[in-house]
Structure formats: structure tokens, C-alpha cells
Structure 1
């Protein structure tokens, strides 16, 4: 006969229960059904406002109580089928409601900023065990979705909980699968208006920044999760696809049919395990792609935006089912300009070279990024290596190669020594790859563009129209026809100019720069006698690297300055031919002016 369910009388106030009394209540609940009234009392202590040791003791007792009963608990939509089982069905339904209340309390404790990390880890492990067992031994996707929702919308930083998930549970293929599904739902249903009714917003006009910070925190938490979920690798085999919930229905859900595209796999009739792995990999790639595409559509904060762009080409693009889907996101990022464009360049370059993306204005945008500030950017090393790769093609028009060479040489006059080294290496490679622009290295004043060695193309023709460009005639000496402020390489006038800036750095105050610049005086058109410079050796340079290299450099001859007699002046008379210095007369004039001014007073 089932015990009668009656809410216990509150003989004691909640604050009067100690750890020993809670432990005794838990033992009574586990020992006999006659103490079922201890269940609501123990549930009342699972709260963010309760002391941690009270929450811990109540959680352990309730976990031990509910775990063996999970297979018997009816679902929310279940109904009684026999009149004889009516009393038992009511009892189990009541237990189901208390279990749901227990789960809700655990989620509140998990997301509360008042909960310490040790208790959060225990709560997370308890919830994940219920995810494994509470749905007839199948993965409880709805409970896991609520768990991720509590982490994403938590008022406390989600880093600790996400790290726990990554270290303990993201190695299971089903956990990763349902994580991508939940993240896609979060991103698809995310709307800024959902934060307009937030209680943190104040009516005094200062609530806007707090609303923005709440929204940014949610997007940041989503990025913590999606960036920590490892995608499935092509080398994964059956032994690597371990599941958290190993039920047959869960395996069928992951390895089920993926659609018409999978018919080719069926026709070949391979090994059953290999087919299952192939299906799981295909479905995982699809969920991975949908989750990332949905997330990139959110209004990302600037710090998250930059971090996404930095990691996209290595961590995301190789694992997408169709990487071309990122073209809109990357092209819009590349059009932003500044450091954002530099960060988007890596992923855009991967799509263009490996996946056939066509971007007509790519070189115009790349040309616009060549500004002095780029040589102080954090990710300049990667940018310069990509710039060198983009200028490697032999099919590059002569006017485009000349524009990049001239723009880089103009930057030689304003960049630090480390920037001058990387520019020199880039110009060296451009001149070696494109012999048609070698005439820019040395061009005398008064040489017309039609009489020189430079070849004409559409860029040169566009630059030759003086009425449109306002350029001066070529035969006028002392005029550089290159327009450094022009953003279009066709209209820059580089083919009518020369790399006179190289001669300036031959006398650079930094010895490594002047020594390296001498290599540009060689005949780089003879490829058999020259080699390309590895830009990566100079792209991450700084004052520290240059100074360290010079200090470790072995010097054979050291310039010395000595005098047989102590000098009486800073400069000798031979230093200034035709000039004489009369120190005595100068002193007399100074003394005379001083006496005169004294008399006037």
C-alpha cells in the first residue's frame, strides 16, 4: 500500500536545520517510503540563497533518491490506463513534479553568481547524469538544452562551466551533436528586443549600457561554448565516437539517414560500422555548419568579432560542410577596413585559393590596407605573409605590381626599422617575380613612359590621361607622378614613377636596413642567380629583435676616433671650408653688448 503524500508540518524554521539534521532527513527518505514527506523539505534547501553545505547535503540525498526511480516516473503527458493503478499513478506523477522542481532548482543554483565553483561542478555532474538516465536511458535533449540555456544566460561568467563541459563531456559525440543543435536554436531565436524588459535597465537613462552589456555577455558565453566544442575529424573511427548515452535510439538518431546525398554511400554497401561512422560525420558537419552560420549572424561585440576572425581559417573553415557560405560574412568584414580587414584576410584568402571564391575587388581592398599603422598591428606577421602570397601570381598585371611596389616603397619613409626590413623583402620579391616593373628601380628624370623599358597596360593608359588625373608631364624633372592618397591602383600613377625611396634607405640610420637595401640594386630579373626572400623572417620584427641581432653579430672592424691632442672646439676648421670662427671677437661683442645694456638701465 502506497504511503499517503502529505506536506510536512513546519515544526521548525528553515534556518534551524543543521547539516546533521539534513543528513538524518535524507537517510529517513532513502530508508522508507513512510518518510516521503521529507522530500519537499529537502527540496526547499536546494536554492542559491541556502548555505552551500546545506545545498550539498540535500542534493546528495535527493540524487540518491531520484536516480533509481527515473525509469518508473511517467512523462508529463502520460495518463493512467487502469483504475487499479490510479493511486500509484498519482504518487508517481507527484514524484515527477518534485523531480522537475528539483531540476529547476539545480539550474538556478548552477547559474547563480553566489554559488561557489566546487558546488557548481557537483551540480553540473548531477544534471549531466540525469541527462543520461532521465529519458529512458536515451539522451535527454530537452534537459540538456535547459542546461546550456542556464549557462548562456547566466549572470556570472560562464568560463568555468564551459571548461568543465569541455574537459569532461565534449569528448562524447552525442553531447557535441546536441550542443550544436542548442546553440543554433539560441542564435536563431536571439533578438535584441528580448533585453528591453530586463530588470537591470533603469529609467534614468543609464540602463542602455547595462542592456548592451547583458546582450554582449550572452553572445560572449555562446562563443565560449561553440569555440570549445571540437568538430569531428576525418580520422575519427568507431572507437573515437564514444557516446555519453549509449542507448540504441540515441545511436540511431546520430547515424540515421542524412538524406538523398547519402544514397551513394548505400549503393556501395560498405562495412556497417564504416557506414555508421560516415553518416555520423556527415550529420555532425551539418550541425557544426548550421550552428556557426547562425552564430555569425548575431551582432558580435568587437572583441568577440576580432577573436572569431583570427581563428576562423583554422578552427572553423576546414570543418564546414560548405565553406563558401562564409563569403558574405568575410567580404563584409574585409570591407570594414583597418585591423578588422587584416584579420578577415586570412579566411578570405583560404576561400579564394582552396574553395574557388571570386572576389573582384580583392586587390583594391588589399591596396587600401597599406598604411603606416599596419606595421604596428598585433597580427602584422600573418598579414605580411599573406600579402606576399597574394602578390606571387605571375598573371598579376604590371600596373598592379608597380602600384604595390611603389606604395610599399613610399611607406619606407615613415615606418620603423622593422617595417623597413619587411618592406624591402616584399619589394625584392615583387621585382623578382615581375620583371616588367624593374624599370622603376632606376629611372632618370625626363624619360618619357613610352621611351622607357616599362610596358604599358590598362593601368598605365588610365594614368596617362593628364586631363583626367591632373598629372604633370613626364619630361618635367623633380616630379613624382605617384599619388599615394589614391585608393585605386589603376589611378595611382605608379608606372610613371620610380622607386627613389630605396636610395633614401641606403643611408638609413639603422645598419641592418641599409645593408638589406643593397640587395635591391642587384639585377633581379635573372632568376637563376637570385632567390626569393622569406618574408616570415622579417614580418614579426621589432626594435628588440633588431637590437638583439646586432648585439650577437660578430664585428670584424670597429670604427675608432682618437686625437693626438685635446680638441679645443667641437668642429675643426677643415670641416667647414671657407668659414672661419673668431671666438675672441665674438666674446668681445657679447661683453660690449652686455655693458651697453647695463648703462641703458
Structure 2
């Protein structure tokens, strides 16, 4: 009977047009008695749905869930909690709603990273989906930034098998101006890089075929992490209050972007928020720490050569000035590699020596070792001579 029922549901779904989906949504929003429309609408949020069907369904689902999210139990709630509730049926209903919301988030993430969603019309769909997801990040944790949902989003980006450039560029243009978005982006990227580094030992113990597949997958993830982290603007000390604007709060509430990727999916009483107010100086210190931790975790990864070179080209100007602890180990290791990689590491290493007091006794000895004919052909030879003549 189950296969026949599945086939019947698929046929029924195929008969829905935009007008019918809109009616399903209007009925759901108008009366709780139409709650069975919720699973039907969720069926249309998937990469294979026609764009107009997906958007019409998402419009209703967004309107349905947004006001409910602060009252729903967390996804980590246990069934045992229902026994302690004075309103067991109400709890069970809310737990079911939460499961449907989690299902919606999962579907939205699949749409965002789907290789089928690449042409112009589908990119417009992705923008709407991203905006919807970020609205959930804003309100689903009682007014605080929902870092658990946001971490799932970044995890989907860095592990995507299709291009994520459009998505990351969209995130950069629309949301990286908010300090809490940048803060939790850095936290998540650090965690993702650390987790990836831990998987290296698995690939080293795998057979040749599996190791090759793991290596290819790792390189793709590293490229995606780099494309994302290199677009997170560092925090600048400024008297401009717009630099402290938060996505999850009004711009007049300059509070600590607090939370943990594993733990902040919990309700926090509003009255406690008043204890989180931070000065711009303290926010700058915390942001600099997260910026440093994220970059150091990334630089410990086995970077592909093209990423390695691009990092070295930009490190001394874009990254080092904003780190709480200069990346000495990475640069000295890069310099010791030799050849063009050593040349590319020169500028950053020289800045650390002259501006940060780094002691590197063999610097000039290694500098002159690089004086070989091939160095005059290198793309970055100008930096070599600039340092040599300093």
C-alpha cells in the first residue's frame, strides 16, 4: 500500500499550479484547521521544483513560521519534556512544528547549493532563499543571532560540490556589513577548518582510491573556505556607529555578539541582554581575536598551490595588520619552501621583522640564496628586490 500512496501523492503534487499553491498557503495562514497544508507546501521547496512553485510556497511558509519561531522548542528538545508539560498536546504540536521548520531549513540549504540552481532565474531564487534563511537566523533564537542555523548554512557552502561564488558574493554584499554576521562567520569557519584538519589523518590511513577521493574533496572544501574567509572584512576601530550595526538587533543596541555554534540555540531572557553591552574597543578586541583564530586555523590546512600563492600575495596587506598574533609559523614555513614561494613570503616576513619585532636570524642568508637566474623571471621578483634593497 505504501508505494501506491507515494505514487498517488506524487501525481497529486503534479496537479498543483501556482494558483493552487497560493490557495494552500492562504488557507494555512487563515486557520489552524488547515495545518495539513504545511507538509504539502514543504514538498515544493526543493531544487527540482519550478522556480515559481518554490517561491510561492516559500512565501507562505515564511509568513507562517516567522511569528512562531520564538515560541517553538529547540531542535534538541527531548520527548521526555512532554511528560513534564502541563499541556502535553500543545507541546507535541509545537515539537511537530519545530520538526517541520527543521525540514524547511534543510530544504532551503539544498536549494542554495544545488548545481541545478545556476542560471539567472535560479540565481534570483537563491537570493530569496538566502534572505529567508537570514530572517530565520535573526528571529529564531528569541531575538538573538541563531548561530546553529547559520553554521549549517556555512557548512553547506564550504562542502558544496558546485560553485559557491555567487552565494558567497551575495552574502558579502548584503550581510557582511553586520558585525554579528562577521563574528559568527569567523567562528564557524574556524570550526570547519579545524574539523577538516582532523580528517587528514583519515585520508592518510585510507587506500589509494579512497585517499585520492578524500584529497580531491579536501581541496574543494579548502577553496570554498578561502573564498569565504577572504571576503570577511576585518573590524576597524571607528567612531562611526554604522560599523557596529548588528543583524540580530537594532543598530542602537551595541551588544556583545555572544553565543556558541553548539550552545546558543537556547532561549535567553531579554532582561539579561542589558548585561551584554560592550564598548567599541571591547568589540574590536573580540573581533580581532576571532579573525585571528579563523585565519590561523585555515593556514594550518594543506593548502593547494594556487590558494597558497594567492594567500601569500595578499597576506601582508589584507590579513597581518588585523591579527592579534602575527602568523610567524606560517610565513617562516613558507619561506623555507624555497623558490617562488619563498619570494612571495618575503614581503609579509619582512613586515613582521621591521614592524612587529620578529627575530629571524637566517633571513638575509636565505634572501641571498634566492639569487638564482630563475628569480629574475618570477612574477613577484619586484618584491624580492624591494626587500633586498631595504
Q: How many angstroms does 1:75 deviate by?
A: 2.2
Partner of 1:344: 345
Structure possessing the higher relative contact order (Cα contacts under 8 Å, 6 or more residues apart): 2
Q: How many angstroms does 1:185 deviate by?
A: 0.5
Q: Which runs of 5+ in 1 are unaligned?
A: 1-8, 257-271, 390-601
Partner of 2:161: 155
CA distance in 1, matches of 2:359, 2:10: 76
Equivalent residues of 1:132, 1:138 under 8 A apart = yes
Partner of 2:245: 242
Residue 169 (structure 2) pairs with residue 168 (structure 1): no
CA distance in 2, matches of 1:345, 1:296: 17
Residue 115 (structure 2) pairs with residue 118 (structure 1): no
Aligned-residue RMSD, C-alpha? 2.8
Q: How many angstroms does 1:233 deviate by?
A: 1.0
Q: How many angstroms does 1:55 deviate by?
A: 1.7
Q: TM-score, normalised by structure 1?
A: 0.56
Name the CA shift for 1:185/1:273 in 2 (closer, same or farther; >3 Å).
closer
CA distance in 1, matches of 2:249, 2:202: 39
Residue 70 (structure 2) pairs with residue 71 (structure 1): yes
Residue 184 (structure 2) pairs with residue 178 (structure 1): yes
Partner of 1:28: 27
Residue 312 (structure 2) pairs with residue 306 (structure 1): no
Q: TM-score, normalised by structure 2?
A: 0.85
CA distance in 2, matches of 1:233, 1:293: 19
Q: After TM superposition, list the pairs within 5 Å mapping 1:569-584 onto structure 2.
A: none
Name the CA shift for 1:236/1:316 in 2 (closer, same or farther; >3 Å).
farther
Q: How many angstroms does 1:274 deviate by?
A: 11
Partner of 2:262: none
SS of the aligned residue for 1:46 comes to: coil
Count matched residues. Answer: 359
SS of the aligned residue for 1:229 comes to: coil
CA deviation map 1:185-214 (0-9, x unaligned): 111111345885xxxx9x9x7665544322
Q: How many angstroms does 1:117 deviate by?
A: 1.6
Q: After TM superposition, list the pairs within 5 Å mapping 1:233-272 onto structure 2.
A: 233-235=236-238, 237-246=240-249, 252-254=255-257
Residue 287 (structure 2) pairs with residue 288 (structure 1): no
SS of the aligned residue for 1:68 comes to: coil
CA distance in 1, matches of 2:160, 2:84: 44
Partner of 1:100: 102
CA distance in 1, matches of 2:154, 2:315: 23
CA deviation map 1:17-76 (0-9, x unaligned): 222221221111112111110111111121123233222221111111111111221223
Q: After TM superposition, list the pairs within 5 Å mapping 1:498-509 onto structure 2.
A: none
Q: How many angstroms does 1:178 deviate by?
A: 0.7
Greater share of helix residues, 1 or 2?
2
SS of the aligned residue for 1:281 comes to: helix
Larger Rg belongs to: 1
Q: Which runs of 5+ in 2 are unaligned?
A: 1-7, 260-274
Equivalent residues of 1:238, 1:273 under 8 A apart = no
Equivalent residues of 1:313, 1:347 under 8 A apart = yes
Equivalent residues of 2:335, 2:342 under 8 A apart = yes
Equivalent residues of 2:313, 2:344 under 8 A apart = yes
Equivalent residues of 1:137, 1:247 under 8 A apart = no
CA distance in 1, matches of 2:240, 2:322: 16
